[in-house]
Amino acid sequence: MLTGAGISAESGVPTFRDSDGLWEGHRPEDVATPEAFDADRGLVQRFYDERRAALARVEPNAAHRALADLEAELGDDLLLITQNIDDLHERAGSQRVHHMHGELRAAWCRACDVRIPWERSLADEPPCPGCGIAGLRPDVVWFGEMPYGMDEIHRALFSCDLFVSIGTSGVVYPAAAFVDYAIAGGSETLELNLERASNSDFHVSRQGPATELVPAWVAELTTAEATA
């Protein structure tokens, strides 16, 4: 299963491609890069500081909670991969969340290479608790950087029975290609999204808000499991 910004939209977390998808006049894609960080560290640190602080003002929604219920039902038969860097899946109760693009609530020290939970600002360049050097960046995968855990993800995609894509535009790679790997592995594929995504060659595609589509689909699945 893959989720994107659309599953958090109804919690009030802006998606990347919302019509006004700009931040301080910048396109997120132009700020979420190593080059932008090298060119203007303060701008990029502020971009993530604001989004990290905003987490305290949002709550998981019915779609996040339905996926946590599904995990309780399926256990290790469910792998939840998210492109999102928010913590709403965890706060809804999901235990095994694979953040392929990293997390807002983590920092990465470029001096000693440790990754640590992080809640505060990074724009004030705090010292790394490990090595004391002020070299912390958000532990987030930027454009041009390799997403986390791709080997595990590929193994899961080629061996799963069902691949479900929820709330993603299918624009950003390699996540946008996951449906193709799943199909190549013989899996059924389902899209639950507000609109048909650009990479959508899913076997089944349902349009609507995640807080309606996801609980309904989880109920359908668990009822089918129960009567099987």
Note the residues at the interface with ligand BV8 (CB under 6 A). 4-6, 9-10, 15-17, 28-29, 32, 83, 85, 101, 140-147, 167-169, 171-173, 175, 193-195, 197, 209-210
If the CB atoms of residues 55 and 175 are measured against ligand BV8, the closer one turns out to be: 175
If the CB atoms of residues 128 and 138 are measured against ligand BV8, the closer one turns out to be: 138
Beta bridge partners of 166: 3, 192
Residue nearest to ligand BV8 (CB): 6
C-alpha distance from residue 47 to each of 10, 53, 84, 102, 135 (Å): 21, 10, 15, 15, 17
If the CB atoms of residues 6 and 109 are measured against ligand BV8, the closer one turns out to be: 6
Residue 154 is among the residues annotated as catalytic for this protein: no
Contact 148, 141 (CB under 8 A): yes
Cα angle 23, 28, 30; round to 5: 115
Closest Cα to residue 175, out of 190, 157, 192, 188?
157
Closest Cα to residue 54, out of 14, 21, 84?
14
For CA atoms 89, 90, 93, 96, give the dihedral sign: positive
| CB of 103 vs ligand BV8, minimal distance in Å | 9
**Biggest CA-to-CA distance, the chain:** 58
| CB of 183 vs ligand BV8, minimal distance in Å | 18
| CB of 132 vs ligand BV8, minimal distance in Å | 27
Q: Tell me the C-alpha distance between 31 and 113, whole Å.
A: 22
If the CB atoms of residues 142 and 202 are measured against ligand BV8, the closer one turns out to be: 142
64, 98, 101, 203: the catalytic one is 101
If the CB atoms of residues 195 and 225 are measured against ligand BV8, the closer one turns out to be: 195
| CB of 56 vs ligand BV8, minimal distance in Å | 18
Q: Tell me the C-alpha distance between 189 and 183, whole Å.
A: 7
| CB of 188 vs ligand BV8, minimal distance in Å | 20
Catalytic residues: 101
